[in-house]
Structure 1
Protein backbone atom coordinates (compact mmCIF):
# COMPACT_ATOMS: atom_id res chain seq x y z
CA UNK A 1 0.00 0.00 0.00
CA UNK A 2 1.43 3.34 -1.04
CA UNK A 3 1.46 6.53 1.00
CA UNK A 4 -0.96 8.14 -1.45
CA UNK A 5 -3.46 5.31 -1.02
CA UNK A 6 -3.27 5.58 2.77
CA UNK A 7 -3.66 9.36 2.58
CA UNK A 8 -6.79 9.02 0.43
CA UNK A 9 -8.35 6.61 2.93
CA UNK A 10 -7.54 8.94 5.83
CA UNK A 11 -9.04 11.96 4.06
CA UNK A 12 -12.30 10.04 3.65
CA UNK A 13 -12.19 8.98 7.30
CA UNK A 14 -11.47 12.56 8.40
CA UNK A 15 -14.46 13.96 6.52
CA UNK A 16 -16.70 11.26 8.02
CA UNK A 17 -15.45 11.80 11.58
CA UNK A 18 -15.27 15.61 11.62
CA UNK A 19 -18.44 16.44 9.68
CA UNK A 20 -21.45 17.59 11.74
CA UNK A 21 -23.56 14.74 13.07
CA UNK A 22 -25.09 13.35 16.25
CA UNK A 23 -21.69 12.36 17.69
CA UNK A 24 -19.94 15.69 17.12
CA UNK A 25 -23.06 17.55 18.26
CA UNK A 26 -23.19 15.56 21.50
CA UNK A 27 -19.48 16.06 22.16
CA UNK A 28 -19.57 19.81 21.59
CA UNK A 29 -22.79 20.39 23.56
CA UNK A 30 -21.67 18.25 26.50
CA UNK A 31 -18.25 19.89 26.63
CA UNK A 32 -19.76 23.37 26.70
CA UNK A 33 -22.40 22.46 29.24
CA UNK A 34 -20.52 20.17 31.64
CA UNK A 35 -16.85 20.89 31.12
CA UNK A 36 -13.77 19.23 29.73
CA UNK A 37 -13.66 16.07 31.84
CA UNK A 38 -17.23 15.04 31.05
CA UNK A 39 -16.83 16.09 27.42
CA UNK A 40 -13.70 13.98 27.08
CA UNK A 41 -15.51 11.05 28.66
CA UNK A 42 -18.32 11.27 26.11
CA UNK A 43 -15.79 11.67 23.29
CA UNK A 44 -13.94 8.60 24.58
CA UNK A 45 -17.18 6.63 24.43
CA UNK A 46 -17.73 7.72 20.84
CA UNK A 47 -14.12 6.81 20.06
CA UNK A 48 -14.53 3.37 21.63
CA UNK A 49 -17.61 2.72 19.51
CA UNK A 50 -15.76 3.87 16.41
CA UNK A 51 -12.84 1.53 17.12
CA UNK A 52 -15.22 -1.36 17.73
CA UNK A 53 -16.89 -0.86 14.36
CA UNK A 54 -13.54 -0.33 12.67
CA UNK A 55 -12.08 -3.54 14.08
CA UNK A 56 -15.27 -5.43 13.22
CA UNK A 57 -15.04 -4.24 9.63
CA UNK A 58 -11.35 -5.12 9.44
CA UNK A 59 -12.24 -8.66 10.53
CA UNK A 60 -15.11 -8.88 8.06
CA UNK A 61 -17.86 -8.86 10.70
CA UNK A 62 -19.44 -5.61 9.52
CA UNK A 63 -19.86 -7.00 6.00
CA UNK A 64 -21.51 -10.09 7.49
CA UNK A 65 -23.95 -7.91 9.44
CA UNK A 66 -24.72 -5.80 6.39
CA UNK A 67 -25.57 -8.97 4.48
CA UNK A 68 -28.31 -9.76 6.99
CA UNK A 69 -30.88 -7.03 6.55
CA UNK A 70 -32.79 -7.76 9.74
CA UNK A 71 -29.73 -6.90 11.84
CA UNK A 72 -29.42 -3.52 10.16
CA UNK A 73 -33.16 -2.97 10.62
CA UNK A 74 -32.87 -3.73 14.32
CA UNK A 75 -29.99 -1.31 14.66
CA UNK A 76 -31.98 1.32 12.79
CA UNK A 77 -34.85 1.20 15.25
CA UNK A 78 -32.58 1.15 18.30
CA UNK A 79 -30.59 4.09 16.93
CA UNK A 80 -33.73 6.09 16.14
CA UNK A 81 -35.13 5.53 19.63
CA UNK A 82 -31.81 6.48 21.21
CA UNK A 83 -31.60 9.71 19.23
CA UNK A 84 -35.16 10.61 20.22
CA UNK A 85 -34.20 10.02 23.86
CA UNK A 86 -31.29 12.44 23.43
CA UNK A 87 -33.69 14.91 21.80
CA UNK A 88 -36.00 14.65 24.81
CA UNK A 89 -33.10 15.28 27.20
CA UNK A 90 -32.04 18.39 25.27
CA UNK A 91 -35.63 19.66 25.00
CA UNK A 92 -36.15 19.22 28.74
CA UNK A 93 -32.96 21.18 29.40
CA UNK A 94 -34.04 23.92 26.99
CA UNK A 95 -37.32 24.36 28.89
CA UNK A 96 -35.54 24.90 32.19
CA UNK A 97 -35.01 28.56 33.02
CA UNK A 98 -31.86 27.84 35.00
CA UNK A 99 -28.99 25.70 33.82
CA UNK A 100 -28.49 22.40 35.65
CA UNK A 101 -25.46 22.36 37.92
CA UNK A 102 -22.45 21.15 35.95
CA UNK A 103 -20.71 18.42 37.92
CA UNK A 104 -17.70 16.27 37.08
CA UNK A 105 -18.32 13.45 39.52
CA UNK A 106 -17.22 9.89 38.66
CA UNK A 107 -20.88 9.01 38.07
CA UNK A 108 -21.30 11.89 35.59
CA UNK A 109 -18.10 10.93 33.78
CA UNK A 110 -19.15 7.28 33.57
CA UNK A 111 -22.63 8.20 32.33
CA UNK A 112 -21.14 10.45 29.66
CA UNK A 113 -18.83 7.68 28.46
CA UNK A 114 -21.70 5.19 28.20
CA UNK A 115 -23.84 7.79 26.40
CA UNK A 116 -21.10 8.34 23.82
CA UNK A 117 -20.54 4.61 23.42
CA UNK A 118 -24.25 3.98 22.92
CA UNK A 119 -24.49 6.83 20.45
CA UNK A 120 -21.86 5.35 18.15
CA UNK A 121 -22.68 1.67 18.59
CA UNK A 122 -26.27 2.36 17.51
CA UNK A 123 -25.18 4.27 14.43
CA UNK A 124 -26.11 2.18 11.35
CA UNK A 125 -24.09 4.49 9.11
CA UNK A 126 -20.90 3.43 10.90
CA UNK A 127 -21.48 -0.19 9.84
CA UNK A 128 -21.69 0.74 6.17
CA UNK A 129 -18.91 3.33 6.32
CA UNK A 130 -16.30 1.05 7.86
CA UNK A 131 -17.53 -1.91 5.83
CA UNK A 132 -17.01 0.06 2.62
CA UNK A 133 -13.72 1.48 3.84
CA UNK A 134 -12.16 -1.93 4.42
CA UNK A 135 -13.58 -3.54 1.29
CA UNK A 136 -13.82 -0.94 -1.47
CA UNK A 137 -11.15 1.33 0.00
CA UNK A 138 -8.46 -1.30 0.46
CA UNK A 139 -5.99 -1.45 -2.43
CA UNK A 140 -5.71 -4.66 -4.42
CA UNK A 141 -3.26 -7.06 -2.80
CA UNK A 142 -3.42 -5.38 0.61
CA UNK A 143 -1.69 -7.39 3.31
CA UNK A 144 -2.57 -7.91 6.97
CA UNK A 145 0.06 -5.29 7.79
CA UNK A 146 -1.73 -2.82 5.48
CA UNK A 147 -5.05 -3.47 7.27
CA UNK A 148 -3.39 -2.96 10.65
CA UNK A 149 -1.78 0.26 9.42
CA UNK A 150 -5.15 1.58 8.26
CA UNK A 151 -6.82 0.59 11.53
CA UNK A 152 -4.17 2.29 13.68
CA UNK A 153 -4.11 5.39 11.46
CA UNK A 154 -7.89 5.74 11.63
CA UNK A 155 -7.75 5.20 15.39
CA UNK A 156 -5.26 8.06 15.79
CA UNK A 157 -7.26 10.30 13.45
CA UNK A 158 -10.55 9.57 15.24
CA UNK A 159 -8.98 10.20 18.64
CA UNK A 160 -7.63 13.54 17.43
CA UNK A 161 -11.01 14.61 16.04
CA UNK A 162 -13.31 13.46 18.84
CA UNK A 163 -11.07 14.40 21.77
CA UNK A 164 -10.11 17.61 19.98
CA UNK A 165 -13.78 18.60 19.75
CA UNK A 166 -14.12 18.05 23.49
CA UNK A 167 -11.08 20.18 24.30
CA UNK A 168 -12.05 22.94 21.85
CA UNK A 169 -15.64 23.32 23.04
CA UNK A 170 -14.70 23.13 26.72
CA UNK A 171 -12.52 26.24 26.45
CA UNK A 172 -13.68 29.24 28.44
CA UNK A 173 -14.83 31.36 25.43
CA UNK A 174 -17.02 28.54 24.12
CA UNK A 175 -18.51 27.91 27.55
CA UNK A 176 -19.27 31.63 28.01
CA UNK A 177 -21.11 31.70 24.68
CA UNK A 178 -23.03 28.59 25.70
CA UNK A 179 -23.93 30.09 29.10
CA UNK A 180 -25.44 33.15 27.41
CA UNK A 181 -27.43 31.15 24.85
CA UNK A 182 -27.86 27.84 26.64
CA UNK A 183 -31.57 27.40 25.93
CA UNK A 184 -31.07 28.17 22.24
CA UNK A 185 -28.23 25.64 21.99
CA UNK A 186 -30.31 22.98 23.72
CA UNK A 187 -33.32 23.70 21.51
CA UNK A 188 -31.19 23.38 18.37
CA UNK A 189 -29.68 20.16 19.70
CA UNK A 190 -33.14 18.76 20.49
CA UNK A 191 -34.31 19.60 16.98
CA UNK A 192 -31.29 18.02 15.29
CA UNK A 193 -31.41 14.89 17.43
CA UNK A 194 -35.15 14.62 16.83
CA UNK A 195 -34.85 15.02 13.07
CA UNK A 196 -32.03 12.46 12.94
CA UNK A 197 -34.00 9.99 15.04
CA UNK A 198 -37.22 10.34 13.07
CA UNK A 199 -35.38 10.08 9.76
CA UNK A 200 -34.00 6.71 10.87
CA UNK A 201 -37.33 5.42 12.15
CA UNK A 202 -39.33 6.56 9.13
CA UNK A 203 -36.79 5.64 6.47
CA UNK A 204 -38.07 3.10 3.98
CA UNK A 205 -35.75 0.29 3.02
CA UNK A 206 -35.67 -1.23 -0.40
Structure 2
Protein backbone atom coordinates (compact mmCIF):
# COMPACT_ATOMS: atom_id res chain seq x y z
CA UNK A 1 0.00 0.00 0.00
CA UNK A 2 2.85 2.37 0.86
CA UNK A 3 4.48 1.65 -2.49
CA UNK A 4 1.27 2.50 -4.33
CA UNK A 5 0.98 5.71 -2.33
CA UNK A 6 4.54 6.61 -3.31
CA UNK A 7 3.76 5.98 -6.98
CA UNK A 8 0.59 8.05 -6.75
CA UNK A 9 2.32 10.99 -5.04
CA UNK A 10 5.21 10.92 -7.52
CA UNK A 11 2.82 10.93 -10.46
CA UNK A 12 0.75 13.75 -8.92
CA UNK A 13 3.85 15.93 -8.63
CA UNK A 14 4.71 15.22 -12.27
CA UNK A 15 1.14 15.66 -13.56
CA UNK A 16 0.48 18.85 -11.57
CA UNK A 17 3.75 20.53 -12.54
CA UNK A 18 3.34 23.47 -14.96
CA UNK A 19 3.74 22.34 -18.55
CA UNK A 20 1.99 22.54 -21.93
CA UNK A 21 -0.87 20.23 -20.87
CA UNK A 22 -1.64 21.82 -17.50
CA UNK A 23 -1.22 25.38 -18.77
CA UNK A 24 -3.47 24.74 -21.75
CA UNK A 25 -6.10 23.16 -19.48
CA UNK A 26 -5.99 26.16 -17.14
CA UNK A 27 -6.37 28.53 -20.11
CA UNK A 28 -9.35 26.59 -21.48
CA UNK A 29 -10.97 26.68 -18.03
CA UNK A 30 -10.48 30.44 -17.65
CA UNK A 31 -11.62 31.23 -21.17
CA UNK A 32 -14.38 28.73 -21.91
CA UNK A 33 -15.51 27.53 -18.49
CA UNK A 34 -15.66 24.39 -16.40
CA UNK A 35 -17.60 22.04 -18.67
CA UNK A 36 -15.34 22.48 -21.68
CA UNK A 37 -12.23 22.28 -19.51
CA UNK A 38 -13.38 19.06 -17.83
CA UNK A 39 -13.90 17.47 -21.24
CA UNK A 40 -10.54 18.75 -22.45
CA UNK A 41 -8.89 17.53 -19.22
CA UNK A 42 -10.46 14.10 -19.71
CA UNK A 43 -8.82 14.03 -23.14
CA UNK A 44 -5.46 14.98 -21.63
CA UNK A 45 -5.85 12.19 -19.06
CA UNK A 46 -6.73 9.67 -21.75
CA UNK A 47 -3.58 10.67 -23.58
CA UNK A 48 -1.66 9.93 -20.38
CA UNK A 49 -3.19 6.45 -20.31
CA UNK A 50 -1.73 5.75 -23.76
CA UNK A 51 1.81 6.46 -22.57
CA UNK A 52 1.16 4.59 -19.33
CA UNK A 53 0.41 1.42 -21.27
CA UNK A 54 3.55 2.01 -23.37
CA UNK A 55 5.71 2.43 -20.25
CA UNK A 56 4.23 -0.50 -18.35
CA UNK A 57 4.53 -2.90 -21.28
CA UNK A 58 8.23 -2.18 -21.64
CA UNK A 59 7.86 -0.43 -24.97
CA UNK A 60 9.03 2.76 -23.31
CA UNK A 61 12.55 1.32 -23.11
CA UNK A 62 12.37 0.34 -26.78
CA UNK A 63 11.17 3.82 -27.69
CA UNK A 64 14.04 5.44 -25.81
CA UNK A 65 16.55 3.22 -27.61
CA UNK A 66 15.04 3.81 -31.06
CA UNK A 67 16.85 7.04 -31.93
CA UNK A 68 15.11 7.88 -35.19
CA UNK A 69 11.61 7.01 -34.02
CA UNK A 70 12.03 9.11 -30.90
CA UNK A 71 13.54 11.94 -32.95
CA UNK A 72 10.56 11.94 -35.34
CA UNK A 73 8.08 11.98 -32.45
CA UNK A 74 9.88 14.87 -30.77
CA UNK A 75 9.96 16.94 -33.98
CA UNK A 76 6.26 16.27 -34.58
CA UNK A 77 5.35 17.18 -30.99
CA UNK A 78 7.56 20.28 -31.12
CA UNK A 79 5.86 21.52 -34.28
CA UNK A 80 2.45 20.96 -32.70
CA UNK A 81 3.47 22.99 -29.63
CA UNK A 82 4.71 25.80 -31.89
CA UNK A 83 1.33 25.75 -33.65
CA UNK A 84 -0.37 26.12 -30.26
CA UNK A 85 2.00 29.00 -29.53
CA UNK A 86 0.86 30.69 -32.74
CA UNK A 87 -2.81 30.30 -31.79
CA UNK A 88 -2.19 31.73 -28.31
CA UNK A 89 -0.20 34.63 -29.77
CA UNK A 90 -3.02 35.33 -32.21
CA UNK A 91 -5.47 35.40 -29.31
CA UNK A 92 -3.19 37.76 -27.37
CA UNK A 93 -2.86 40.18 -30.29
CA UNK A 94 -6.58 40.15 -31.10
CA UNK A 95 -8.42 39.49 -27.83
CA UNK A 96 -12.16 39.26 -28.40
CA UNK A 97 -14.35 38.04 -25.57
CA UNK A 98 -17.31 37.74 -27.92
CA UNK A 99 -15.50 34.95 -29.75
CA UNK A 100 -15.81 32.72 -26.68
CA UNK A 101 -19.50 32.07 -27.22
CA UNK A 102 -18.97 31.49 -30.95
CA UNK A 103 -16.14 29.05 -30.20
CA UNK A 104 -18.27 27.13 -27.72
CA UNK A 105 -21.12 26.91 -30.21
CA UNK A 106 -19.10 25.85 -33.23
CA UNK A 107 -16.63 23.50 -31.60
CA UNK A 108 -18.16 20.32 -30.17
CA UNK A 109 -17.14 19.00 -26.79
CA UNK A 110 -15.87 15.86 -28.51
CA UNK A 111 -13.41 17.95 -30.51
CA UNK A 112 -12.04 19.37 -27.25
CA UNK A 113 -11.65 15.82 -25.92
CA UNK A 114 -9.77 14.77 -29.05
CA UNK A 115 -7.59 17.88 -28.86
CA UNK A 116 -6.65 16.97 -25.28
CA UNK A 117 -5.82 13.39 -26.23
CA UNK A 118 -3.73 14.57 -29.16
CA UNK A 119 -1.69 17.01 -27.07
CA UNK A 120 -0.50 14.36 -24.60
CA UNK A 121 -0.18 11.52 -27.12
CA UNK A 122 2.05 13.73 -29.28
CA UNK A 123 4.51 14.27 -26.42
CA UNK A 124 6.96 11.32 -26.15
CA UNK A 125 8.50 12.79 -23.00
CA UNK A 126 5.38 11.64 -21.14
CA UNK A 127 6.61 8.04 -21.22
CA UNK A 128 9.71 9.14 -19.28
CA UNK A 129 7.48 10.71 -16.62
CA UNK A 130 5.53 7.46 -16.34
CA UNK A 131 8.66 5.36 -16.00
CA UNK A 132 10.01 7.74 -13.35
CA UNK A 133 6.81 7.60 -11.30
CA UNK A 134 6.44 3.83 -11.52
CA UNK A 135 10.07 3.27 -10.57
CA UNK A 136 9.48 5.08 -7.26
CA UNK A 137 7.31 2.31 -5.86
CA UNK A 138 8.13 -0.75 -7.97
CA UNK A 139 10.74 -3.32 -7.06
CA UNK A 140 12.46 -6.00 -9.10
CA UNK A 141 10.39 -8.73 -7.46
CA UNK A 142 6.98 -7.08 -7.83
CA UNK A 143 4.37 -8.99 -9.81
CA UNK A 144 2.72 -7.97 -13.06
CA UNK A 145 -0.52 -7.51 -11.14
CA UNK A 146 1.16 -4.94 -8.90
CA UNK A 147 2.50 -3.11 -11.98
CA UNK A 148 -1.01 -2.97 -13.44
CA UNK A 149 -2.32 -1.69 -10.10
CA UNK A 150 0.39 0.99 -10.09
CA UNK A 151 -0.63 2.11 -13.58
CA UNK A 152 -4.28 2.21 -12.47
CA UNK A 153 -3.36 4.44 -9.52
CA UNK A 154 -1.51 6.82 -11.85
CA UNK A 155 -4.48 6.91 -14.21
CA UNK A 156 -6.77 7.93 -11.35
CA UNK A 157 -4.28 10.56 -10.24
CA UNK A 158 -4.05 11.90 -13.81
CA UNK A 159 -7.83 12.31 -14.11
CA UNK A 160 -8.00 13.87 -10.64
CA UNK A 161 -5.22 16.36 -11.38
CA UNK A 162 -6.72 17.56 -14.65
CA UNK A 163 -10.18 17.80 -13.07
CA UNK A 164 -8.68 19.82 -10.22
CA UNK A 165 -7.17 22.28 -12.70
CA UNK A 166 -10.55 22.56 -14.43
CA UNK A 167 -12.38 23.24 -11.16
CA UNK A 168 -9.92 25.78 -9.77
CA UNK A 169 -9.30 27.81 -12.92
CA UNK A 170 -12.99 27.97 -13.85
CA UNK A 171 -13.96 29.76 -10.62
CA UNK A 172 -15.69 33.07 -11.29
CA UNK A 173 -12.93 35.13 -9.72
CA UNK A 174 -10.26 33.41 -11.79
CA UNK A 175 -12.27 33.73 -15.02
CA UNK A 176 -12.92 37.43 -14.38
CA UNK A 177 -9.22 37.94 -13.74
CA UNK A 178 -8.43 36.23 -17.03
CA UNK A 179 -10.78 38.49 -18.95
CA UNK A 180 -9.00 41.54 -17.55
CA UNK A 181 -5.52 40.20 -18.32
CA UNK A 182 -6.21 37.88 -21.26
CA UNK A 183 -3.67 39.60 -23.51
CA UNK A 184 -0.84 39.07 -21.03
CA UNK A 185 -1.90 35.54 -20.09
CA UNK A 186 -2.27 34.39 -23.69
CA UNK A 187 1.04 36.02 -24.54
CA UNK A 188 2.79 34.20 -21.69
CA UNK A 189 1.17 30.91 -22.68
CA UNK A 190 2.32 31.47 -26.26
CA UNK A 191 5.88 31.99 -25.04
CA UNK A 192 5.73 28.81 -22.94
CA UNK A 193 4.44 26.74 -25.85
CA UNK A 194 7.07 28.19 -28.19
CA UNK A 195 9.92 27.50 -25.76
CA UNK A 196 8.65 23.97 -25.09
CA UNK A 197 8.27 23.28 -28.83
CA UNK A 198 11.70 24.63 -29.75
CA UNK A 199 13.27 22.78 -26.81
CA UNK A 200 11.64 19.52 -27.87
CA UNK A 201 12.80 19.87 -31.48
CA UNK A 202 16.30 20.81 -30.30
CA UNK A 203 16.43 17.74 -28.05
CA UNK A 204 15.57 15.56 -31.06
CA UNK A 205 18.81 16.55 -32.79
CA UNK A 206 21.18 17.29 -29.92
CA UNK A 207 22.51 13.72 -29.80
CA UNK A 208 22.96 13.68 -33.54
CA UNK A 209 25.53 16.49 -33.48
Give, in whole Å, the separation in 1 of the partners of 2:135 and 2:96. 50
Distance in 2, matches of 1:53 and 1:106, equals 30
Q: Distance in 1 between matches of 2:106 and 2:165?
A: 21
- Equivalent-residue separation in structure 2 for 1:97 and 1:145 (angstroms): 50
Structure 1 stretch displaced more, 98-107 or 37-46: 98-107
> Unaligned regions of 5+ residues in structure 2, if any?
none
How far off is 1:116 after superposition?
A: 1.2
Q: Give the superposition deviation at 1:151.
A: 1.3
Match of 1:101 in 2: 100
Partner of 2:29: 31
Output the aligned Cα RMSD: 1.7
Report how far residue 146 of structure 1 moved: 0.6
C-alpha spacing 1:112/1:118, structure 2 compared with 1 (3 Å): same
The one of 22, 41, 44 aligned to 2:42? 44
Partner of 2:207: 205
CA distance in 2, matches of 1:98, 1:149: 46
Counting matched residue pairs gives: 204
| Structure 2 CA distance for aligned equivalents of residues 15 and 66 of structure 1 | 23
Normalized against structure 2, the TM-score is what?
A: 0.90
Tell whether the 8 Å contact from 1:35 to 1:104 is kept in structure 2 after alignment. Answer: no
**Any unmatched runs of 5+ in structure 1?**
none
Aligned pairs for 1:138-177 within 5 A: 138-177=138-177
Once residues 134 and 72 of structure 2 are traced to their aligned partners in structure 1, the CA distance between those partners, rounded to angstroms, is 23
Q: Which residue of 2 aligns with 1:187?
A: 187
Residue 16 of structure 2 corresponds to residue 18 of structure 1: yes
Cα displacement (A) at 1:63 = 1.9
Distance 1:35 1:193 in 2: 21
- 1:59-107, Cα deviation, whole Å (9 max, x unpaired): 2222222221111101110110000000000000011142222343473
Following the alignment from structure 1 to structure 2, what is the Cα–Cα distance between the partners of residues 58 and 11? 18
Quote the Cα distance in structure 2 between the aligned partners of 1:83 and 1:55: 23
Q: 1:205 aligns to what SS in structure 2? A: helix
1:123 is paired with a residue of what secondary structure?
A: coil
